[in-house]
Structure 1
């Protein structure tokens, strides 16, 4: 046997096809592979020497042949190949053999009579000796102390249905005397049937839950499409309303412009007529001035009577002007319309929000609470019978009030 640095920790022989692992220890390639193959079912891999644990099986790194050359120099002849290693040692998650001394092998069977677990080597007497023929072997299990009665240190073979616990034969003499007792096999058979019914119920629940999950998925997809469709339709309707408001703005602008134009035309006509009348009156004033300066008495008398008669016969219409005329009422009307629209839109938005908030998409129903509510509703409906309306007052109770004048006006404006 060579020194420790040239030997494998597992087979205790010279290193063959040496490999190293991340912690730095070196083993034979076949030894390490066999050792870790037995740990595959646990998912935890330990270094056989320093016990460092790896959650993922490391990839060994092949070493050079310096160790083998050193071994060859220290020996006269090449050592024989090591025997095929048997590394069925119990890992941290395995049940160890109770007979093995030192490092225990992994147990393959447990005896319920001996209350011990055995590896393949120490299990042979149970198959070869007649003494163990009546012993019951099961797949290796841990915590065999649970198979022993803590009071009498005997194997648990019976089940007390009165106290709902496993007992030994000695427990029937005193502690459980007169109780309803059956064998563990019988109780297992009965509970196996109930277990099957429970499993069927669980599978039915799984089916129901999967169905609810599928329904919820469809509902979610429908919700998404409905929300998208609602947003598009609302966007279109709001666009229509904005176009309607723009049309109202154009009509209002057109109304103000036409009234302004008509007023200006009227004023211009009056100003033109007044200009003609002023020119005519100035002409008469000049004639009167010239007449007053003439020395011809006959001409004065004839012209005077004609001018006086013409002036008295003509009555000039007066033009009245409203100095307070403006378009303030139009602005006021538009301001009131804006206020009414704001109030109406806020009220309608609150109604829509309340309606949406009352709608429940999905919820968890408590079966107990649901039964209680149903029973209370049944009592309430039974105590207060529903009657159909027969008279006018009964119909008016369910009558939906008509729109107010303001709502009609706002709706018409929209």
Structure 2
């Protein structure tokens, strides 16, 4: 029985009057099944006892008995549906902040997957199943889950907002078109939706074009930056090359200037050392003569003093140092001459040096 029940769909257990699963199912003489209460109330209101499905006319009201077989099948189907629902609920996720919760769930609210514009209710996957299987509910319009379904009702007439007033650019219900918007240009909500959607598509296409243009501009700017970087690197390399040459030449001519100055200084020092050596030599001779004179002046040998006097009385021959001195070397023009030579050399080696 369980295997057989699993092969049946919910449509086979729905009452065609209430569109819900059978409650106390009964069979009419023509073989159709209904909820006992549904068919009883239908015949109480109707003028004639007629089958709602095949329109078979009964001249006397049939005596209805609960169909035990169908009742058992319904019970098993309900148990199976509850098990599937329980399993499905365990696999579904609870609604997170910002997500639309199911309006039917009790306890933990599961995430809604659809909202019904007829029922004004949002359903999770489990509670949505009747809308996907029941023939009466299949006609309901389902949309992606949205919050505040009450906001889709007219606040003045408590009717579904299913029209759009172009004059006032607002959504209205059927009663609004008769009362408040009687002479206005009113169209179905779907028609306005299609027009606005077309406008949005056009606007979105324009925005995409704007985005594309800006992306191309970004690429253009990046390419400019790349070229600028390449030019900068090239210029830096050339500048480094030029200034390296310039530095080498400056160092070369600087070394020349230093060499000239040092050579002049060395010649000056050599001259001074010659003068000092000559003076020291004369000092040595004068000291020797002074010592000889001192000894002779202390001598008591009359003959010796008289004989030595002529040779010792005069000062030894020496140079007149009055006008003699070390000449300070002149460095005037050395740097200027070197700079002129450097510029001439730079003009040959580095044409850029013309700007100097």
Is the TM-score greater than 0.5? no
Q: TM-score scaled by structure 1?
A: 0.39
Which structure has the higher relative contact order (CA within 8 Å, separation 6+)?
Answer: 2
**If the length of structure 2 is used for normalisation, what is the TM-score?**
0.44
Which structure has the larger Rg over C-alpha atoms?
A: 2
